[in-house]
């Protein structure tokens, strides 16, 4: 079992990638929320990395709260977090979490939800998600 991310306490990117290769990911409907912290670079430059780490922890806490029913919560790296929902309510749960995350301000987050299309592999799903988040 991989260690949790040392700053946020979320699963690391490797755990997320392993999940996408698992039978559970292949057989269940998937929906993903991706969010990123707005202004982390500026916080790091202005107030130092300790303040940036505190922002990352608060962002991870917001993700845990908004996506408590997610199958996996992970830090992709930098300022990006992911919540993966599975099962018949995955799409609704992901949309609800994304709306909740984008609505807050401490720290401000950009968030978007995406539902896996029939036959879509995880790499294509994550690529589509990145494109959507960048437009938020």
Q: Which helix (H) or strand (E) holds 85?
A: strand 80-86
**Contact status, residue 38 vs residue 108, Cβ threshold 8 Å:** yes
What integer pLDDT is reported at residue 86 of this predicted model? 94
Q: Residue 49 domain-assigned?
A: yes
pLDDT tens profile 22-56: 887 877 789 999 998 999 999 999 999 999 999 99
Q: 4 in a domain, yes or no?
A: no
Question: Is residue 3 in some structural domain?
Answer: no
The mean pLDDT of the chain is 90
pLDDT value at position 135? Answer: 66
Residue 29 lies in a domain: yes
Torsional class of 114: left (φ above 0), alpha (ψ -120 to 50), beta (otherwise): beta
Using DSSP's 3-state secondary structure scheme, residue 135 falls into helix
The one-character DSSP state at 38 is T
Q: Evaluate whether 40 touches 56 at the Cβ level (below 8 Å).
A: yes
Q: What is the reported pLDDT for 126?
A: 73
Look at residues 98, 87, 84 and name the one whose alpha carbon lies nearest to residue 132. 98
pTM over 0.85: yes
Mean pLDDT for 84-103 is 94
pLDDT at 119: 82
Alpha helix positions (H), 21-121: 23-27, 40-47, 49-66, 90-103
- pLDDT tens digit string along 66-76? 999 999 999 98
71 found inside a domain: yes
The count of structural domains within the chain is 1
Residue at 36 is within a domain: yes
Percent of the chain exceeding pLDDT 70 equals 96
Q: Any idea what the CATH number is for the domain that residue 56 is in?
A: 3.30.70.270
pLDDT higher than 60, residue 136: no
For position 62, what pLDDT does the model report?
96
Asked whether residue 6 is assigned to any structural domain, the reply reads no
How many Cβ atoms sit within 10 Å of the Cβ of residue 72? 21
Domain of 40 in residue numbering reads as 13-135
Cβ atoms of 66 and 97 closer than 8 Å: yes
């Amino acid at each position: 079992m991989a260690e949790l991310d040392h700053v946020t306490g979320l699963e690391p990117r490797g755990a997320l990638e392993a999940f996408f290769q698992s039978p559970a990911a292949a057989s269940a409907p998937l929906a993903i929320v991706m969010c990123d912290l707005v202004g982390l670079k500026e916080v790091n430059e202005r107030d130092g990395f300790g303040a940036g780490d505190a922002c990352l922890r608060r962002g991870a806490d917001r993700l845990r709260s908004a996506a408590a029913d997610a199958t996996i919560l992970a830090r992709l790296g930098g300022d990006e977090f992911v919540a993966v929902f599975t099962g018949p309510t995955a799409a609704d749960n992901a949309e609800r979490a994304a709306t909740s995350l984008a609505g807050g301000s401490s720290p401000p987050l950009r968030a978007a939800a995406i539902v896996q299309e029939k036959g879509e592999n995880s790499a294509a799903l994550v690529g589509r998600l990145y494109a959507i988040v960048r437009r938020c």
